[in-house]
Amino acid sequence: MGPRKIRPQHDATSSVLQLAVLSGYKLPRFRCVSGQPSVSLLRPMLLQLTSYERGLLLSFGTGLVSYFIFKKYEPKSLAALGVLLGLLPAIPIALLRTSIPSTLQSILLGSSVFFSTLLCSIGIYRLSPLHPLHAIPGPLPCKLSKLWLTYIASQGKLHLYFQNLHGKYGPIVRVGPNELSVADADLLPSIMGPSGMPKGPLWEGRRISGKKGAGAKEAKGRSLIGARNKQQHAEVRKVWNQAFTPAAVKGYEPAVARRSEQLVDELKTRLAKCGDEGRVDLARWSSFFTFDIMGDIAFGGGFELMRDGDPRNLVQNLAKGLYLPGLTQQIPWVSEFLPYFPFLGQHMKGLAQLGHAQATKRLKEGSVHNDIFHYLLHDPDAEGAQTPFPIVVSNSVSSIIAGSDIAAALSNIFYCLATHPGCYARLRAELDAAFPQGSGQVPNAAALAQLGYLNGVINEALRLYPTVPTSLQRAPSSGSGGHMIGSNLFIPEGTAVFVPSYVLHRSPAYFPDAAQFLPERWLQPQTLRSDAFIPFSSGPANCVGRPFALLALRTAVAHFVQAFDVALAPGYGAEQYAADLRDFFILLHGSLPVVLKPRGL
């Protein structure tokens, strides 16, 4: 004879009592006439409780029910959350109201029991041995809630926090209830390689516009930023790949050279006109340069910040627009509710509006040459069909953000050179040997790519200050059940993995004297672990614009170094620049006040 089956009770109160008993809740003592314990006796037991006691017990039980629903289904829609967090606790509150004269008191009491039960159940599970990440070390606040990491991110110092965590706990750290940070180069292929995982849920929280509807869904699934499915990403990547083929990048060289020459000319003009002893904010000029060059190759021109300044505060608004996504990426479900709060994220929405305006302008005016926008506008697999407009806008925003990547990298390179005059002199000597002063030869892309020390300077600045320092994230594909990392670390579905390049790049295990700026280390690559160097990410989802970024950095740095002597401005400490860096997905910089003097004066 098989085990006895308990007949289910279909009313809400008895079901809740069953949950309460199974969870360890101790009921008052009752006489049992049959002598045999039975769940069916809960009904008469319930009748002996007062309405006040039944209300408390029901609040506890509905809290447990909500916990099990959250654990299994992770509801994110506003309707589902409204039922779980609004309707369910309202039932015991109504029962409490019959025994408590004050409506407010019954609401406070019922809600307190409900949410205390829900939160305690969640916390106990996340800390218990039953959790699949229980064995992974990490700080207690991170294990309990992503709100802690969101708070750290709000300070802009997530890169330093991750570095401290790995220094304390080792190469694998639990940084969230269901998130790990892995700083082990040997594990990168199984995380980010061809057989690795697709993008993680972080990207769900980085929707710039926050708009809802069919257009937003289409852009989310078919934009390079929003595509989390590996096959979708590969298809979208084809569109971007055609914009960065060797032939396409070669077509951008004249614009990059022209803007690099303009950077030098505008700075010289400023030095000649202003009586401030050659003091300029080189970080701001780095942003002006990259805004102008991205305007040229993405939208057919139109910004002209180096010539006119920034009356529209584009640089400042871009930085502000990246703040809120830097927080919502930590708690992606929040992005579902942003459209219902129009007063939130105005700068973020302004960034989306800028992308919309530039896309509209570019579509209206056209262009006489094949720039990035031209390639992104035409899907190579759709027989010449034009890309849908929501995706065009998403790609436009991506282009603008990519410009901020280059601006950050260029500013960081200038900072490293300004604080290491020996490296500056050595780089200038290399450039002068390749392009002698007065010979009429100007730096060209092919020759610059072959200069070892120049590339060493760029690599070393990118190593110390990667433009995306912590937010490279991957997660197992939906429906896969999980993914094996290395030979003995299984990542269950629903778990995300960060790969913090800032931590990897500064690890002495991969780069001797890791905290030092040593461009010459790249002249002997056998002395370092190049596979731990991922400033442009790694694998199928790496930075598609890497060839153009290197072209812009090499050309701008070469023109600048041959034109100016540079030193930090008096009163500005070298440590201040690093202290002002903020990690909001992109490593945003502060100011870089320097004193410039045209070479030879």
Q: pLDDT (tens digit, 9 = 90+) per residue, 151-163?
A: 999 999 999 999 9
- Judge whether residue 93 has pLDDT over 90: no
First-residue to last-residue Cα distance in the chain: 102
Residues 318 and 227 reside in one and the same domain: yes
Task: Point out the annotated binding site.
Answer: 543
Residues 250 and 386 reside in one and the same domain: yes
Instruction: Tell me, yes or no, whether 189 lies in a domain.
Output: no
Q: Give 481's contacts (C-beta < 8 A, 6+ positions apart).
A: 492, 493
DSSP 382: T
Instruction: Tell me, yes or no, whether 309 lies in a domain.
Output: yes
Per the model's pLDDT, the better-predicted residue between 228 and 197 turns out to be 197
Instruction: Tell me, yes or no, whether 107 lies in a domain.
Output: yes
Q: Give 451's contacts (C-beta < 8 A, 6+ positions apart).
A: 430, 431, 434, 554
Q: Is the dihedral of CA 59, 62, 67, 73 positive or negative?
A: negative
**For 34-80, what is each residue's pLDDT tens digit?**
444 454 555 565 566 777 888 888 889 888 988 888 887 777 777 78
Task: Point out the annotated binding site for heme.
Answer: 543
Q: Which residues pair with 598 in a beta bridge?
A: 564
471: exposed, middle or buried (C-beta count within 10 Å: 0-12, 13-18, 19+)? buried
User: What percentage of the chain reaches a pLDDT higher than 70?
Assistant: 84
CA distance 408 to 406: 5
**What integer pLDDT is reported at residue 214 of this predicted model?**
42
**For 532-555, what is each residue's pLDDT tens digit?**
999 999 998 888 889 999 999 999
| Angle, helices 389-418/346-365, rounded to nearest 10 degrees | 110
Q: How confident is the model at residue 122 (pLDDT cuts 50, 70, 90)?
A: very high
Q: How confident is the model at residue 366 (pLDDT cuts 50, 70, 90)?
A: low
Residue 408's domain spans which residues? 208-438+541-598
Instruction: Tell me, yes or no, whether 476 lies in a domain.
Output: no
SS3 content of the chain, % helix, strand, coil (to 5): 60, 10, 35
Residues 220 and 110 reside in one and the same domain: no
Please state, rounded to an integer, the average pLDDT across all residues of the chain.
84
Residues 263 and 116 reside in one and the same domain: no
Residues 119 and 244 reside in one and the same domain: no
- Judge whether residue 378 has pLDDT over 90: no
Range among 23-37, 384-398, 406-420 with highest mean pLDDT value: 406-420
Residues 322 and 213 reside in one and the same domain: yes
The token pair at 261 is 């020459």
Instruction: Tell me, yes or no, whether 248 lies in a domain.
Output: yes
Total of domains in the chain:
2
Residues 268 and 374 reside in one and the same domain: yes
Q: What are phi and psi of 441, to 5 degrees?
A: -80, 135
Domain termination site, one of 79, 110, 127? 127
Residues 123 and 213 reside in one and the same domain: no
Residues 123 and 212 reside in one and the same domain: no
Q: How far is CA 550 from the centre of its chain?
A: 22
Instruction: Tell me, yes or no, whether 268 lies in a domain.
Output: yes
Among 390, 257, 272, CA closest to 376? 390
Residues 99 and 215 reside in one and the same domain: no
Instruction: Tell me, yes or no, whether 510 lies in a domain.
Output: no
Residue that has been written with the tokens 């620049």 in this structure: 577
Domain termination site, one of 87, 106, 127? 127
**What integer pLDDT is reported at residue 367 of this predicted model?**
60
Domain termination site, one of 127, 148, 170? 127
Residue that has been written with the tokens 């979708």 in this structure: 232
Per the model's pLDDT, the better-predicted residue between 219 and 253 turns out to be 253
- CB count within 10 Å of CB 287 equals 26
Residues 101 and 222 reside in one and the same domain: no
Q: What are phi and psi of 589, to 5 degrees?
A: -105, 160
Q: Is the dihedral of CA 98, 99, 101, 102 positive or negative?
A: negative
CA distance 416 to 418: 6
Q: What is the pTM of this model?
A: 0.85
Residues 227 and 113 reside in one and the same domain: no
Give the CATH number, domain containing residue 406. Answer: 1.10.630.10
